Structure 1
Amino acid sequence: MDILKRIQNDYLFLSPQEKKVADYIMRFSSEIKNMNIKDFSLKTGTSTATVTRFAKKIDCKNFSDMKFQINSLSVPKVQFQTKGISEDVFNYYQMVIKNTQSLIEMNKLETFIRFLLEANQIIIIGLNSSGTTASTFSNRLMRMGLPVVSYVDSIDMVMRGSIASKSDLFVAISNSGTTECVLDSFKQAKKNGSILTSITNFSENPLAALSNLDLYVYSTKFIDNQKFINSQFSMVYLIDVITTLLLGNKELHEKFTQTRETILDNY
């Protein structure tokens, strides 16, 4: 696993000062090449001691070793041009898709597809913006004829977890993997023997720790442009990949086509 992926993996467990170092590296990795530790600490608003501690926390010997590993990736800086908003957004989407694609593990996706096809009931949960993504994913699966329901209310998802069964598949969508009501729903479902899967921005988080299978995507907080606020784009990209894989199943494809034609013909 390369150093940038290790930083995203461990991000939730960093101190506030260490997160400043991580944020700078994830946003400006191509600018670190000629910096010494003093210049770097000034850029990040931290101390040389914090930088050294951070380097060791992500399994580097020291700052020089960390810088060498970052430079060895040869990550080009994405320039957000001033040719117009549409091109800025296009550049942003390209970066998010490219970085999320690098995190996808096909063996995990294949296991996730198997879980979806074998479940007696699929329960997808998420809160706020992640709840919108949960509803979108649920709608996709429903149109293929899969037994699915989504819960975006905190009380509802916890209640559903309390009456879960071993044949249920829970899918949690959460950027941080730390949302309390989502965790509570998972804890209840785990007691009842359900299969638990999660989609988050970090592979190391409380929700992933509870999961039988965890998928994670690129966190848009690492994009060097604060104008873009679509925190769910990388999630939706992964859902598109999963949907496309499912539609390779002839029966699911036929049902998806049937539901689409029904809507087009009548509404």
Structure 2
Amino acid sequence: MVDHEVDTPAGTAVVDADAVDRRGAVAVSSDGVLARVRAGAGELTGALRRVAEHVLSDPEAAARATIVELAERSGTSPATITRFCRAMGFEGYADLRLGIAAETGRARSAGWTVDIGREIQPSDPLARVLDQIMAADTRAMHDTAALLDLGEVERAAVAIAGASRVNIFGASGSALVGEEMQFSLHRIGVAAWAWSDVHEGLASAALLGVGDVALGISHTGQTRETIEMLAEAGSRGATTVALTGFPRSPLAELADIVLVTASQATTFRPDALSARHPQLVVLDLLYIAVAQRTHDRAHAAFRRTAQAVDGHKAEKGATS
């Protein structure tokens, strides 16, 4: 494989051709074009990065522009635009334009473009804030569905369904998401534990082995504690799963199975916070997939756990 030269303001830079091919291999559909650009922008450099940023700043204008116009607006060249198209998995600029146009058209018809990308101002009424949050979350979940590899979800579900023990690792907001997954799995009889403290998590990871599963959750994929705990679990033979927004992050690189999410940041919700709902959607899908594969056991466990807490529900018509 030959590396590609890319023009930059400082001259010529070399881009790893394998990385371009890996990105392109998954970007063969018009669905989720902008999600793939957002996910891959951080890995691009120089002129390719500028093209990605320009496309994301105004997708509708990019869809209308000729290749020469897009090159001029992004301060690059038509050759760079062509390389960018290939990095996104398209044979040429015409295919990329059609993909962006189709996606922005769907977004416009659904009302998503009204608030996406608009900064929330301190003086905005709550109705306007609610509209933007709904638009951002809806877009993020649709982008996640476009990015998600269902084959990887299947592999993770099979591993968890057959596991003797499941450890879930995460810090801060990711720890809260992990606790939700742990609770769901416990309700259907899966022996699962959620760890946010690195010392406790490492001790538990050291006791895992072949046939066990470790799930690490980190939007950036760069949280050191989560990486350490997942790495320890993997070194003991456990199957490792990463849930992250960056498929080439350190966390994803060490995992056997990678589940990718997208996010739509708003003024008061940066990426790490806005990623929570897409993370929960993916984990809910994974939980249901596990329940499907352990149907009889899961159904019996869920019935028993529901009966155990039923006595603590308030009777209908009771007053406090």
Q: TM-score range by the shorter chain?
A: 0.7 to 0.9
Instruction: In structure 2, give the amino acid aligned to 1:250.
Output: D
Out of 132, 143, 152, the residue aligned to residue 176 of structure 2 is 132
Residue 12 of structure 2 is matched in structure 1 by: none
Residue 72 of structure 1 is matched in structure 2 by: 98
- TM-score, normalization by structure 2: 0.68
The structure showing larger relative contact order (alpha-carbon pairs under 8 Å, at least 6 residues apart) is 1
Residue 227 of structure 2 is matched in structure 1 by: 183
Out of 272, 295, 302, the residue aligned to residue 256 of structure 1 is 302
Give 1:1-267 correspondences, 5 Å limit.
Answer: 1-2=27-28, 3-4=33-34, 6-15=36-45, 21-26=51-56, 28-35=58-65, 36-37=69-70, 40-41=73-74, 47-48=75-76, 56=83, 59=86, 65-66=92-93, 68-73=94-99, 74-76=102-104, 77=108, 78-80=112-114, 84-221=128-265, 225-229=266-270, 230-248=274-292, 249-266=295-312
Are 1:123 and 1:148, in contact at CA under 8 Å, matched by a contact in 2? yes
Cα distance 1:264–1:21, how it changes in 2: closer, same or farther (>3 A)? Answer: farther
1:241 Cα deviation from its structure 2 partner: 1.7
- TM-score, normalization by structure 1: 0.80
1:8 Cα deviation from its structure 2 partner: 4.5
Larger radius of gyration: 2
Cα distance 1:55–1:206, how it changes in 2: closer, same or farther (>3 A)? Answer: farther
Are 1:12 and 1:205, in contact at CA under 8 Å, matched by a contact in 2? no
Query: Could you tell me how far apart the structure 2 residues matched to 1:171 and 1:58 are?
Result: 34
Are 1:116 and 1:169, in contact at CA under 8 Å, matched by a contact in 2? yes
Segment drifting more, 244-253 vs 148-157 = 244-253
1:263 Cα deviation from its structure 2 partner: 2.3
1:120 Cα deviation from its structure 2 partner: 1.0
Are 1:124 and 1:134, in contact at CA under 8 Å, matched by a contact in 2? yes
Q: Tell me, what secondary structure is at the counterpart of 1:167?
A: coil
Are 1:161 and 1:185, in contact at CA under 8 Å, matched by a contact in 2? yes
Cα distance 1:146–1:31, how it changes in 2: closer, same or farther (>3 A)? Answer: same
1:34 Cα deviation from its structure 2 partner: 3.7
Query: Could you tell me how far apart the structure 1 residues matched to 2:81 and 2:174 are?
Result: 30
Instruction: In structure 2, give the amino acid aligned to 1:251.
Output: R
- 5+ residue gaps, structure 2, are 1-26, 116-124, 314-320
Segment drifting more, 250-259 vs 233-242 = 250-259
Size of the aligned set, in residue pairs, is 255
1:114 Cα deviation from its structure 2 partner: 0.9
Aligned-residue CA RMSD (Å): 3.1
Q: In the TM superposition, what whole-angstrom CA distance separates every residue of 1:92-123 from its partner, at most 9, and x where no partner exists?
A: 23212211112233322222111111111100
Are 2:205 and 2:230, in contact at CA under 8 Å, matched by a contact in 1? yes
Are 1:133 and 1:235, in contact at CA under 8 Å, matched by a contact in 2? yes
Segment drifting more, 135-144 vs 161-170 = 161-170
Query: Could you tell me how far apart the structure 2 residues matched to 1:52 and 1:157 are?
Result: 49
Query: Could you tell me how far apart the structure 1 residues matched to 2:178 and 2:215 are?
Result: 9
